[in-house]
Amino acid sequence: MTIIADAQHATEQTIGGRDRIRHVKLSTLTLPLEVPISDAKVLTGRQKPMTEIVFLFAEIATEQEQSGIGFSYSKRAGGPAQYAHAKEIADNLIGEDPNDIGKIYTKLLWAGASVGRSGVATQAIAVIDIALYDLKAKRAGLPLAKLFGAYRDSVPTYNTSGGFLHAPIEEVRARATQSLAQGIGGIKIKVGQPDSRIDLARVTAVREHLGEDVPLMVDANQQWDRTTALRFGRVLEQFGLVWIEEPLDAYDAEGHAQLAAALDTPIATGEMLSSVAEHIALIEHRSADVIQPDAPRIGGITPFLRLAALADQANLQLAPHFAMEIHLHLAAAYPREPWVEHFEWLNPLFNERLEIRDGRMWVPRRPGLGFTLSEQAYAWVTDTAEFGRA
């Protein structure tokens, strides 16, 4: 190396210029749930109660000793497929500059082009994309929300995990009380049972328990047809709900649009969709008042940011689905006041906890996502694959 090239190299190292990905570790693990979980899809016989969630983690390390961690997940089926696809494409990362997230994303898409740009194929890329964003924010010494450019330090949060259909109504009410005492601001309960009278009794019981001022949402998990959704949606208007979630099949953009136009109560949907393109159908049809993308499900943070820009342009509210550890940062960076969904299910995977008070979840001051994997998480790992130089 010449003296000039030497100096240039040293400067690049100092200011954090070009770095290279040295090592990638993929881990698949199975998180057991304390009790089998049922929403309306189980009560209508379409799915079995959920007993576990399969996670895919990526840990990425660079020549400059920077590191990032990301995760994707699947419920019931799909975990092994995400892991298999990630293993096939991960080698493409070695030697790339981890700062060039857009370039890497495109490279990984082309590596798996024949299996498409949605679903499992991009969910496998999501785990890497999220790890690269974590790494970039850590390098900058910023919480991820600050790297994006945050609008707020905390986001209104509501609890979902206490309102499932396997829980008798006394338990749902007790869990709601617990959530509010913890500082959580709103409560969501599941509906969509074959007998709407049972739904009505549960919503009435919870609304009476909470009083009129506590924000309350309901979630039908796609189990109504258009007629039921409209008729029951009209019955629900009296409860002043924050939203009715997934009243119809996730892909019925037109039906959601008709319902959203007919009801005063806002309509929320989007969690089941697996790409930005699928979400654009909702935006174009004006199907929802509140859009509910899930970053791991739609292929990571790169597509989420693209979708968030489109959703804001269309004047939509945002309430990302599940994975609060990732979505808190993304919600904090959305221009309109969003909601973030509280589930305590992932707590055993991480050493850190999110601060919740005054009805809001607070963006951690730690750099990156702000999470490290717990010993328990490593104990649940069922398989790993490594690429590059450890």
- Binding interface with Mg ion (CB under 5 A): 219
Nearer to Mg ion, 39 or 96 (CB): 39
CB 28 within 8 A of CB 83: yes
CB 286 within 8 A of CB 254: no
Nearer to Mg ion, 144 or 295 (CB): 295
* Amino acid identity at 16: G
Nearer to Mg ion, 22 or 256 (CB): 256
Catalytic site residue from 138, 188, 256, 321: 321
C-alpha 307/C-alpha 122 separation (Å) is 15
Quick one: how many helices (H) and strands (E) in the chain?
A: 15, 14
Please state the closest distance from residue 161 (CB atom) to Mg ion, in A: 12
Please state the closest distance from residue 92 (CB atom) to Mg ion, in A: 34
Look up 209 and say whether it is catalytic. no
SS3 content of the chain, % helix, strand, coil (to 5): 45, 20, 35
CB 109 within 8 A of CB 125: yes
Please state the closest distance from residue 335 (CB atom) to Mg ion, in A: 23
C-alpha 13/C-alpha 152 separation (Å) is 33
Element (H, E) at 388: strand 381-388
Secondary structure class of 317 (helix, strand, coil): strand
Please state the closest distance from residue 386 (CB atom) to Mg ion, in A: 35
- Report CA Rg, the chain: 21
Please state the closest distance from residue 99 (CB atom) to Mg ion, in A: 35
Q: Where do the H-state alpha helices sit in the chain?
A: 3-14, 40-43, 79-89, 101-111, 120-140, 144-148, 169-181, 196-210, 226-236, 253-262, 276-285, 295-298, 301-313, 324-332, 375-379
Nearer to Mg ion, 163 or 303 (CB): 163
Element (H, E) at 292: none
- Which residues fall within 8 angstroms of residue 311, CB to CB, at 6 or more apart? 279, 283, 291, 293, 318
Please state the closest distance from residue 184 (CB atom) to Mg ion, in A: 17
∠ CA 134-268-44, nearest 5°, is 105
Look up 25 and say whether it is catalytic. no
Nearer to Mg ion, 105 or 339 (CB): 339
Please state the closest distance from residue 221 (CB atom) to Mg ion, in A: 6
Nearer to Mg ion, 92 or 223 (CB): 223
Nearer to Mg ion, 219 or 252 (CB): 219
C-alpha 116/C-alpha 294 separation (Å) is 18
CA dihedral 310, 314, 319, 322 (to 10 degrees): -30
Catalytic site residue from 190, 279, 327, 329: 190
Phi-psi region of 359 (alpha: psi -120 to 50; beta: other; left: phi over 0): left
Question: Which residues form the catalytic set?
Answer: 190, 321
